Structure formats: structure tokens, C-alpha cells
Structure 1
Amino acid sequence: MSTIRASSGGLALLVAVLAFALNLRTPITSLPPVMADVADGLGLDQTLAGLLVGLPALCFSVVAPAASALIARLGPYPAVTVALVGVVAGTLVRSAGSGTAGVVAAFTGTVLLGAAITVGNVVVPVIIARDFADRTAPATGLYSSVMNLGSVLATSLTAPLAALLGWQGAVASWSLMAVAALVVWLATTRGAGRPGTARAVRGPAAAPAADRPAPERPDETWAGVLRRPLTWVLSLAFAGQSFSYYAVTGWLPELLRDLLGVSVTTAGNAAAPFQGLAIAGSVLVPLVLATRAPMRVAAVAMGLLWAVLPAGLLLAPQWWLVWVCLSGIAQGGNFVVIFTVAAQRCRTVAQTRRTVAAVQTVGYAVAATAPSVIGAVHAASGGWTAALLVMLGSTLTLGVAEVVATRRPRPRPA
């Protein structure tokens, strides 16, 4: 596998990657705002409706190794094309039909979406590490910002669209954005990225040689990647990040209603600053790193901001909006820290690809348990103190793991 070299990714390639990234969360976050209509329209009970929302996170974990293998076989650029086609197809299938056929279509489309987005989750860090090697932090920050922008757009606009088009039309309409991204991607990368061929990326500069099949070094294989302590430390960090994110996403509205007696509308709107300020966190980390501050500074700051949410709700719940805003910044910034470290500390494309896949497999497997774990602890304890302590534990785990991951690597012997 080719060693990661200095960046030669051009502006056109970056725009195409960001257009792709805009579609990596909208299919997921477009469903919860109209979930009541979906459940009524398909005749789903709460359990099945919740499964429809949580299924993509399970796919992110289960499918990640297969996504890594697909990227290795096709190359990163064709893998993006496959992912975008899958997003379009999954979005349309999920919104097709009614009755029993509609239920089958909804779950089939959701699984297809989960698999396609998993390919995207793995391949974008690989492209950033390979094609923007000297700009990994700002490129990762932009990638994270655009993903969160997609979440905000879908969360804000799907319900108004449903009032005009019905829930099926509203959810299906997000496929148009994926089609547009596919057109941009194909126009930018036409003729590039096929294994065994030179790439001619349209943009200010050509990208480096493709990730051609070749004998793998020992540290590039799955066994080699899984033997690296960094892989497991980053996996632990991403598990803490993902568990905290899905716990807050799933339970924050009900928690605020129980603790403070706020209205249903106010509690529901609490998701807006949490999702929206992730964009600020994604931009803030690269800006801090641009001042030549050590990565560990950013990691410590973002870890503390995440821990502020459960700690603040335990100690001063009346300031909930402050804690929600700070944690929103943290959840965007921590994503950048984790995957920037992965990109900077991997020496080859193959090592990056498998490391990212391993980190996401572990992280999203833990994330898939978050809503049920928090719900079970809340039900067993009869209050929110124990559940918030579990969330505090997950955020502190994230912070400690990031501090370990961002220590300076020892110089290799000559």
C-alpha cells in the first residue's frame, strides 16, 4: 500500500467530499421529527419505531469491517460513488409503500442507508488522510461541520416539508441532495481512483497514486492494526463520545421535562443547540491547532466541555441551556480530535482504513446500547441521578482516552 504523503488534494476535491458529507447524517436525523406520523402511517408500536431510528447506529458497527474491505477492493473514490447511490436508493425505498409492504420497505431502506453511510463514515477519513495529509485537522473539521449542518437542516426542515408533502414525501425529498452530491462527485473524480490506474482529479492539483493492491506490511493487516495500542485507545474514546451523543439525543427532552417541568416544545427544541453548536466545535478545534497549540490541549478542553452536561444537570439543572450548548460544542470538537489523531498517526492508507473501521466498529456498538442502558438505569433507580452519573462516566472515559491518545509518540529508532 502506498505510504501517506504530503497533501495534493485540491479545492474541487474538498468541495466534493463536503457535498458527500452533507448526506451522511440527513437520512438519519430526518426521521425523528416525523416519527409519530411514520408510526401511525405504518402501524408501528413504540418498540419497532425506536428500532427504525436506532438501526443505522447498529449498522455503523456491524458493517464497518465489510466497508473497509469494499474500500480496499474498489478504491476510496469509487467507494464514495457506491455510498451515494446507496443513500439515494435507501432513502427512496424507506419511504415507499404502506401497510405491511411499507413496513418491510422502511426497514429494508433503513438497513441499506445504514450500510451506505457506514462506507462513508470509513472512507472520508481515509480520503482526508491520503489527499489532505498536511491539512488533516481543518479538513476533518470541515467534514464534521458539514455533517452536523446536514443534521440541523434535516431536523429543522423535515416537519415543515411533511406538512406539505406528507411524511413519505418529506423523508424521500432528502434523496435530491444526495443526487446533487453524486453529480458533483462524479464530475470531480471522473477517471480517478480505479485500482491500477493513475488518478487525474479535476482541481488545482492532482491527487497521489491510488491505493493499489500490493503486499501488506505487518502493521497494515487487521492483526497488526488491532495490536496497536492507539487503535484501542481511540476506540475507547469514540465509544465514550458515541455513547454520550446517543444518550443525550435519546433522553434529553424527557430528562428536562422531569427535572424542570419545561414544556414539551421547549424540551424538544433543546436538541437544536446541541446539534447546531457541534458546527462551532468542529471549527474551533482546527483554529486552536492552527495556533500551534498541542492536540492534547484541544482534547482536554473538549473532554471537560462534554463532562459539563451531566455534571451541570446534577448540580445546577436550572442552567440546562448553558450545559447543552457547551456539550454541543464538545461533541463536534471531539469528533475532530479523534479522527485527526487517527489520520496523523497512521502511516499508510491501509492502516488508516482499518484503524478507522476498528474505531467505528467498537464505538458504534457501544453507542447502540446507550438509549436502552440510560432508559434501564432511569427506570430501575426511579430518577435521573444514576443515569446522569452513567453519562458522566462515559464522558470522563472519553476525556481520559483522548489524553492518552494525544500524547506525543516516542521517536522510532533509526
Structure 2
Amino acid sequence: MAVLLWLAGLYLRIPILVAPPLAPFIGDELALTQTLTGALTTLPILMLAIGSMPGSLAIARIGPRNTLAMAMVIMVLGSAGRGLAPDTVTLMLASATMGIGVAMMQPALPALLPRWLEPHHLALGSAIYMNGMLMGEFIGAGITLPILMPLLDNSWRATLMVWSLPALLVAAALYLPRRDREKPVGKVSWLPDWSNPLTLRIGLLLGLSGSMFFGLNAYMGSLLEQQGQFNKLADALFWFNIAQVFASLTMLKMAKAWVGRRSVIIITASLSILGTLGAITFTGWWAIASATVMSLSAGILLILLVAVPPLVTTARETGRLSAGTFLVGYTLAFSVPMLGGLIADATGDARHAILTIIGYSLLVLPLAFKLDLQRKKDQPES
């Protein structure tokens, strides 16, 4: 089960993060504008918010395992479909389809944990699939150009196929474990429960983590260029992204001790803000070190927040709560950096993009002090 959780987690990010290294080749062949080239990465991120509710609906109707398998098939159809796209419109439709599939996978994984694992293993289960997700970020971005493309005659189309199709085997393997601790029940609500304060609070804090990571990743080049340090961009991106791997490895070790502790969420959120502030205050290697601290802290914070729903709510409500938090979190992870970019364009100062993200993060940080992380008891079946 641990291997399946890890492999499913891997495909939460690989289909998205292979786009940036392949974007120049795709753009050249299909004559994409800069905006459309960027959309190869940003469009799936937007879909992560939009697709969370179809995922919640599917979980309520057909269960988390069936939803996860179906979502992986949708993801493969979209991801591999990009490799067959003859034109820009088809490429963007395939990218959106891939993003919807990944988005539906997101709430299905935490909803599956209570069915496969004992309660005292929920934190570790969350850390395992999140380790796969964060490793997927590094693997997808790190080995596509230097290793995979040369083996495939430098074909971006074949590269997308090779990354995508093995997920079908993972989807089929999801049915190997016979264990399912929760029996089928009647109709289950799937819309976000806005009366539950955790839906909005966790979602807004996910927006803090996501906007900082995606925002600083996006504007790193502009910041270094403004500082006259553009030659350090490759090193900066390497350390920035590998810090997410170290975050996931840390949580594999510390999951049982840290998951469900409000104090750890407060500390990692605060360190994320300080690291981001340091990235625009310092220059050179000190700025890169600060950005790396932010990435490490934000990665740990992400795992801590994603692990909350299966820990604090009933098995029937986990998918619903997770979907609601992802809807809020990824909407903000997309829109806050976008707003920052518009402000930076207007002022001509790249630091203003990051200051916008810091301003948002400071506004929502007090929510971490109000998180109620007490476990709700399962309600008797009727």
C-alpha cells in the first residue's frame, strides 16, 4: 500500500512539472507565444482548483479508490494527449484535461487513507504520498532534459508519452489491496462545508504555502536579473526545488510527531514568510539561501496542512473537506502571484510581486493560531 500511495503521489506533480523543461521545444514546433508557453504550466495549476469539486463529487458517488483510478486515467489521456497535439488549441485542451485529472486525484488520496490505514498510521500515509508528490516535482523537472529526452531522440512528444503512460499501471494496481475499512454507505454530501471553519482556514493557509512556492519560483529569474545576479539562476532553482525533496524526507521521519500540531504549522508558516522576505532583502547567495529556507519550510507546511483532513474528520467527510481546502488553496496559489506580477509590471520592480505574496501571507498567518485540530468521532451509520 505504501508503494501505491507513493506512486500515486508521484503523478500529482510529474505531469505538470515536465512542461517547463519541454516548453521551449513545444513552443518552437507549434509556434507558441510567450503567454501560451507559460500557460503549459499555469493552466494545469488553475485546473487544480477548478477540478477539486468534481473530485469530491466522484468520491461521494463511487468512492475514493474508484475516483483515484478514474482520475489517473483522465490525467494520462490529457498528459499523453499533449504529445499527440497537432495544434495550439488541442494542446491547451489536453493540458486542461490533464490538470482536471490531477485535481481529482488530490482529494481522493487523503480520502483513501482512512480506508486503507489504521488511524495511528494516517499521518505517515499522508507523508508517504506527499513525499511522492514532492519527489515528482524534482524528478519531472530534473531528469527530463539531461536523461530522458536524449534517450528518445530528443522528441518532446515521445518524452510526454513515456512520462504519462506508466500511470495506467499504477491505476490498475490500486485494485490489488483487498482492504477497505469503510463499507459502502448511502448518499454522501460532496460540496464544501463552509460552516466548518477548517475548510476556509486550511485553504487560506494552503494559499500561503502555494503562492510563496509558485510565486518565488516564477519570479526568481526576474529578481536575480534585477540584482545583477542572473548567472546564479540555475543554482538558485536547483537548491530551491531540491529543498522540497528534503522537506518530504523530513516529514517521513517526523510525521507522527508533527502532524496535527498547531505549533509546528505556525512555526513553518512564519519561517516561510521570513525566508521569502530574505529573498528580496538580501542579494547573491544569501538571497538564494533565504529562498531555499522558504521552500523547505513551505514544503513541510504543505504536508502538515494536507494531512489535516483525514486526521480530524470522519472517513466520509475527508474527501469533502480536502476538496474544499484545495479549491481555496490553489485558487489563491494561482491568483496571488498573478496579482503580484501585475503590480510588478506596473511599477517595474520585481520585488513588488513578492511583497504582494508576503502581504497576503501576513494577513492569513493569524488563522494558524485558531486551527482546531481535534479529531471528530465517527458518527454511527444509519
**What TM-score, normalized by structure 1, do the two folds share?**
0.83
Deviation at 1:387, TM superposition (A): 2.4
* Same amino acid, percent of matched pairs: 20
Superposed counterparts of 1:152-167, under 5 Å = 152-160=138-146, 161-163=148-150, 164-167=153-156
Residue 93 (structure 2) aligned to one of 108, 111, 124: 108
| CA distance in 2 between partners of 1:86 and 1:69 (Å) | 15
Asked if the contact 1:20/1:185 (under 8 Å) is kept, the reply is: no
Counterpart of 1:10 in structure 2 is none
| CA distance in 1 between partners of 2:219 and 2:303 (Å) | 24
Counterpart of 1:50 in structure 2 is 38
Question: Cα gap change, 1:42/1:353 in structure 2, threshold over 3 Å: closer, same or farther?
Answer: same
Counterpart of 1:360 in structure 2 is 326
- Is 1:381 matched up with 2:347? yes
Of structures 1 and 2, the larger Rg is shown by 1
Counterpart of 2:14 in structure 1 is 26
Asked if the contact 2:67/2:108 (under 8 Å) is kept, the reply is: yes
Q: Deviations over 1:144-199 (max 9, x none)?
A: 1111111111111222333433222222220243134234324x24xxxxxxxxxx
Deviation at 1:56, TM superposition (A): 0.9
- Give the letter for the 2:240 counterpart: F
Asked if the contact 1:289/1:298 (under 8 Å) is kept, the reply is: no
Counterpart of 1:6 in structure 2 is none
Stretches of structure 2 that go unaligned for 5 or more consecutive residues are: 378-382
Superposed counterparts of 1:344-359, under 5 Å = 344-349=311-316, 351-359=317-325
Q: Give the SS at the match of 2:272.
A: helix
Residue 271 (structure 1) aligned to one of 214, 237, 240: 237
Counterpart of 2:293 in structure 1 is 326
Question: Cα gap change, 1:269/1:83 in structure 2, threshold over 3 Å: closer, same or farther?
Answer: farther
Counterpart of 1:8 in structure 2 is none
Stretches of structure 1 that go unaligned for 5 or more consecutive residues are: 1-12, 190-200
- Is 1:64 matched up with 2:68? no
- Is 1:150 matched up with 2:136? yes
Deviation at 1:82, TM superposition (A): 0.9
| Aligned residues between the structures | 372
Counterpart of 2:158 in structure 1 is 169
Counterpart of 1:311 in structure 2 is 277
Counterpart of 1:137 in structure 2 is 123
**What TM-score, normalized by structure 2, do the two folds share?**
0.89
What is the root-mean-square deviation in Å for CA atoms of aligned residues? 2.4
Question: Cα gap change, 1:215/1:300 in structure 2, threshold over 3 Å: closer, same or farther?
Answer: same
Q: Give the SS at the match of 2:84.
A: coil
| CA distance in 1 between partners of 2:181 and 2:22 (Å) | 44
| CA distance in 1 between partners of 2:18 and 2:46 (Å) | 18
Q: Deviations over 1:3-48 (max 9, x none)?
A: xxxxxxxxxx222121111111111000101211111111111122
Asked if the contact 1:16/1:185 (under 8 Å) is kept, the reply is: yes
